A and B are shown apart, each in its own frame.
Chain A
Amino acid sequence: MIEWSVITDSLPQYASGLWLTAQLTVLSLAAGLMMAIPLSVMRISRKRLVAGPVWAFTYFFRGTPMLVQLLLIYYGLGQFEWIQGQWQADNTFWLIFREPYGCALVTFTLNTCAYTTEILAGALRTTPHGEIEAAQACGMSRVTMLRRILIPGALRRALPAYSNEAIFMLHGTAIASTVTLMDLTGAARNAYSQHFAPFEAFIFAGLLYLTLTFALVGLFRLAERRYLAHLQPRKAIKGPTT
């Protein structure tokens, strides 16, 4: 027996939850990727002082659960009187950490940034030697080479791995509801606690997540078709063969 009213009554909440989930996913992925590009270049540097801090950063954020990171930033920071004082004084920077939205966005961004940095660093390391030699033969400086050869190539090669990271991130945002945000999971929990009907509440949220995942997968497939076209199997030539 399915109680459809559980879903229909809560439709507006699901809709705003869907919007919040999409926002958190897209914004944190975009900010994380922007930060990951310079960090991945630092990560593969031979200089310890440059690579070390980035290594420590990715080690921490990949080595701890995102839920723990979020609780640490949301409840953990709020515990300190100095930070509470900054909130009282309306310090714009620290006010980000008063809002659950800000805390979630910062956590998700740092987390995806750590993973993306490692994905990109791996892709940078596998740049074919021939490309580097050719760039040097053309007389490119290190920066020009990064900009024209290394980074664009790495971004292409990283695309399949990165699409997984994006999907994990979408699903990871479900923990936003633990810090009072009404994302898709938050909406489902609300419907659940109002109607005591877990199946209806969560299956509908699951279907909406599935839809979002399909949309993401579709976008990445388009991107791969465009940027990894040279790796696709060649299509059979149509026409008479003799």
Chain B
Amino acid sequence: MIRRICLMAALAFLSHNALAKDWTKIRFATEGAYPPFNMTAPDGTVQGFDVDVANALCKQMQAECSWVKQEWDGMIPALMGRKFDAIAASMSITEDRKKKVDFSDKYYATPLGLVAAKGSALRPDLALLKGKRIGVQRGTVADNFATRFWASEGVEVIRYGKQEEVYLDLAAGRLDATWVDALEAEGGFLTKPTGEGYAFAGPTIFGRNADEKAVIGEGVGVAVRKKDTELKGKLNKALAEIRANGTYDAIRKKYFSQDIYGE
């Protein structure tokens, strides 16, 4: 009896593994609070640029995709903990993250920008930011940047769980500015009624030197576990295909007027 149970358990385990390996079913995770890249619809489903691109990738790979909503700061640990198989949540490809997970090729690239009240004299320069309260989302590229280059130099970097909360506090007057992904700020705040009266202060940047570039990363990719090289390969192939057949551009046009793929 016990032997039979063990055998069945072993078989179940093996077959489960076998199923997972051919990638006909992929569980994607996103945050759902980062418009227009990913946001939560009133009915609880996720939508946005990340979601549409990932769904197009699935279609191209002839895989069935399901979505999981995950808080941003637990995204990578949850991926490693097998809560889902891939992250499509506007995650920039950076050296720090590459130590833990693997990334597909980039599917878009975005600079960082400083958003403040219109007419503000602030610029993304250390000298002008000293003593100011700058809001960032915890664990983002913007946070890493502000922590690395500004926080120790007297800029008050205030970290939030969600970017939407940063906008709330900026609008409420608790912050002088937010340091954020420029496309996110554009689509998620500046073009909305609450963002009226705010604008980018100074230029948006992709990194003005090698150090900054290393922190900002080389674009946004789909993150997968390190050992899932086959999935990564399939994703890259599908990405090249939807770039070539016009699907990618059709999705991009739905959200942005200009090209966001970058070089």
Contact = CB atoms under 8 A, between A and B. Distances in A.
A84 B100 contact: no
A78 B168 CA distance: 8
A84 B173 contact: yes
Dominant SS among interface residues on chain A:
helix
Contacts of A180: 135, 158-160, 169
Contacts of A98: 172-174
Contacts of A78: 168-169, 172-174
Most buried by B among A178, A182, A196, A198: A196
A28 B183 CA distance: 42
Interface string A120-153: 0000000000000000000000000000000000
B173 A196 contact: no
Given A78-B172, A84-B173, A98-B173, A190 B165 contact: no
Interface residues of B, number: 24
Interface string A177-205: 01010100010011011101110000000
Interface in A23-63: none
Interface stretch (B52-60, B72-80, B198-206, B235-243): B72-80
B73 A193 contact: yes
Interface residues of A, number: 19
A178 B174 contact: no
B138 interface: yes
Given A75-B165, A75-B168, A178-B161, A193 B138 contact: yes
Interface string A157-184: 0000000000000000000001010100
9 contacts: A78-B173, A78-B174, A84-B172, A98-B173, A180-B135, A180-B159, A180-B160, A189-B138, A192-B73
Interface of A: 75, 78-79, 84, 87-88, 98, 178, 180, 182, 186, 189-190, 192-194, 196-198
Given A78-B168, A79-B168, 5 more contacts: A78-B172, A98-B173, A189-B73, A189-B138, A192-B74
